[in-house]
Chains A and B, each alone.
Chain A
């Protein structure tokens, strides 16, 4: 009976996370278009529903009913699997993220985390980077020059940012002494003053930059940038297969926002009068907005500039940060 209860609880949690995050990801596309529009002094979607809010439904119907084209010479099984990898890995990564503080529902204490493993942060980062296989396989299986260029750039991107993510996170972890996201959150219980962003500002900035690279957002969206490689890995995709890539991308954005908020900005601890659950939602919203803001304000970088940035600037800085933290801690 006890085992069965755990299984049922986990399944319910997983379905909830899937539904809520997929909904949030869809809504984020609307927000993105609106925010970008306002930053460029346009109105954005306006015609479908009040202020274009039903544009979401219209886009959904369009994506689902569009003809599903599989190019004749592509390697079909891999071409069809690739779009599934993106959302699958993004949602799997969320299994180890604690979303909210514990709360009681009908006299039953709910831990809003699907699997509380000891190495939560490593799991999230590792599985999220598996998502880079989606653009790689998509680019290599659709027989297309632009797609292949996109795939080659994916490899460059993964090999560049992964080192920075790992090394930048190491310094805060040395201070906390645990890889569990719950422990990391509890370390910053003492209000705004105890946020790790004040103690580890360099690590915070580095992790944020690497997060942009991990989610393929501007300025590091070089694997699909229209001005250079048409649409990169997604050139040959249409309809819902194309949509799946973007569900994955937005889900990844939400995961990275949760990670940054939990590691550096106090997670779901209450701030002053704001309860913890609301506090983390506000932080997430801010980071989603930051992703869009940067997209509106910054130009793209070239692949060689990305490699230069990651290997020659960010990695030495991260190493220096680890060294300094070590000296201070000893």
Chain B
């Protein structure tokens, strides 16, 4: 019974918060709701006894949404409302609703048809982390390593894009100039 209560509480909270993310025009509200929603999703993992994934969800999204806040801080005045210029509203809404309905069918189809089977059912007595590790380093090794390389590529290109004046230390340079002027 408690699981049912927890499930409905978390689902309501998550849906409400993600609703705020989409509807609100204030960047600060949206980002805070996003952070909250991402953390509430971890609750579902805990209910499914996938504690490791739940904790990873919390850790990863804390840092990720935090970085998003940093961008929000740099690009917007977060206290004012953001004005969106939307053309062809009807088309966008129709497409979005259609896609959402499709996703619901794709996900819930196998559950309704009862054709869902675990390819790698969890073994009794083997912990969460061990199972994830086992699958990552045997069955999904190539995918795992490729994803790592992709992230590395993204990181290096990111550094390259901003590397114009990386050899100059900004804070030290300012002070040097000021000191020279003073002399």
Instruction: Check B79 against A179 for contact (C-beta < 8 Å).
Output: no
Task: Give chain A's interface secondary structure class.
Answer: helix
A7 and B3 alpha carbons, distance in the complex (Å): 12
A122 CB to closest chain B CB, in angstroms?
A: 4
Q: Which stretch (B11-19, B27-35, B92-100, B160-168) binds chain A?
A: B27-35
Other-chain residue from B28, B58, B78 in contact with A126 (beta carbon distance below 8 A):
B58
Residues of A within 8 A of B28 (CB): 75, 78, 137, 140-141
Other-chain residue from B26, B56, B69, B171 in contact with A136 (beta carbon distance below 8 A):
B69
Residue count of chain A within 8 Å CB distance of chain B: 36
Task: Give chain B's interface secondary structure class.
Answer: helix
Interface check B66, CB cutoff 8 A = yes
Per-residue CB contact flags for chain A residues 130-154 toward chain B (1 = under 8 Å, else 0) read 1011001100110100001001100
Given A3-B2, A159-B63, are A140 and B29 neighbors across the interface (CB < 8 Å)?
no
Interface check A118, CB cutoff 8 A = yes
A137 and B29 alpha carbons, distance in the complex (Å): 10
Interface check B73, CB cutoff 8 A = yes
Could you show 20 A-B contacts with beta carbons less than 8 Å apart? Answer: A3-B2, A75-B29, A78-B28, A78-B32, A117-B51, A118-B127, A118-B129, A119-B52, A119-B55, A122-B59, A126-B58, A136-B66, A136-B69, A140-B28, A140-B69, A143-B79, A152-B70, A159-B67, A162-B59, A302-B171
Q: Which A residues contact B (CB, under 8 angstroms)?
A: 3, 7, 73-75, 77-78, 81, 117-119, 122-123, 125-127, 129-130, 132-133, 136-137, 140-141, 143, 148, 151-152, 155, 158-159, 162, 166, 179, 302, 304
Q: Which B residues contact A (CB, under 8 angstroms)?
A: 2, 26, 28-29, 32, 35, 39, 46, 51-52, 55-56, 58-59, 62-63, 66-67, 69-70, 73, 78-79, 127-129, 171
